[in-house]
Chain A
Amino acid sequence: VGSHKALMLLTDVLARGEGPEAVADELERIEEAARLTSICGLGQVALGPVMSVLRMRTEGEEGEAGRRGRRLRARTTLTRATVAGMAAAAGIVLAGGRSSRMGTPKATLEWHGRRCCGG
């Protein structure tokens, strides 16, 4: 039932020329309900690709879409924290020094016009 409802929502917004962000809140509720309540493994992950696209489209963007993406990530973080004490984690990124073997300092590498090491 959830998958069918999500399909109807997406079909409707795509017909209007909009993206999945237009129904992100509804999709998020349906996905969560399906993931938590479906007795079928396939049903639990049926909306996974849709949520993945939604996260990728909102990742790094400003505005409501970006905030929605951050909410989704925060939920994932909370789940991991419950399992493994994620709250005590830090990150370390190694700049690569002169990168003599590669021949170019890794810190200056660009990816789609932006330095890949940056924010």
Chain B
Amino acid sequence: VTGIVARATEGRSSWCARAGQDLPAMAKGVEVTEDDKEGRGPLQGLAAGLAAVDGRAEIAFVSSTDAPLLHPAFVRRVVGALDGEHDVALPQAGGFPHPLAAAYRTELLPSVQQLIAADRMRPAFLFETCRVQRLDEAALLADPAVAAYDRRWTRCST
């Protein structure tokens, strides 16, 4: 997954792990960011990741690690959908939003940190405070590159 994300984002990727976590070999260009606050959920990981790329990118594609069927075309489609009118491009497939297969403006870091400080640890709380571009299956498949490979992206996570 790190390799796929790194290729799709031209090699600027960060891998967020808890301190002391057993780590495999990473693809070239992937940095490891350790998060010492364990058990705080995806919003804590999002904060660590956004902090790691802060000042180096305007947009970050965020993925969970258990998505072996993730495809670079999907990453490009989601990142490409994030226009100047929105802060998050959020895929919505199978009736559910997928915050760990989404693109975020890195300037959202203070908002994420505020939610963590208030112990509001669900990504849904973040979406209440920013401009979200929801991408349903039809919108994702409108990209021929996504439609061309297949629809496994709808179940790419374990």
Contacts and interface: CB of A to CB of B under 8 A. Distances in A.
Contact of B66 (A52, A86, A92, A109): A109
Interface stretch (B38-46, B90-98, B124-132): B38-46
Contacts of B158: 102, 106, 109, 116
A94 B46 contact: yes
Contact of A91 (B22, B23, B61, B82): B61
A94 B25 contact: no
B25 A80 contact: no
Contact of B39 (A77, A100, A117): A100
B10 A87 contact: yes
Nearest to B100: A94
B148 A52 contact: yes
Contacts of A52: 148-150
B100 A119 contact: no
Interface string A83-96: 11111111111111
Contact of A116 (B9, B59, B62, B68): B68
A97 B1 contact: no
B9 A111 contact: no
B119 interface: no
Among A45, A76, A100, the one with the most B-chain Cβ atoms within 10 Å of its Cβ is: A76
Contacts of A55: 149
A69 B22 CA distance: 32
Closest 4 CB pairs of A and B: A92-B49, A119-B27, A90-B57, A91-B5
Interface of B: 1-3, 5-10, 12-18, 21-28, 30, 35, 38-39, 42, 45-46, 49-50, 52-53, 56-68, 72-73, 75-77, 79-83, 100, 103, 106, 144-145, 147-150, 158
Interface of A: 45, 48-49, 51-52, 55-56, 60, 73, 76-77, 80, 83-98, 100, 102, 105-109, 111, 115-119
20 contacts: A49-B148, A73-B7, A73-B72, A89-B12, A90-B14, A90-B56, A91-B2, A91-B13, A91-B63, A91-B75, A92-B16, A92-B61, A92-B62, A93-B30, A94-B16, A97-B17, A98-B18, A100-B39, A119-B3, A119-B30
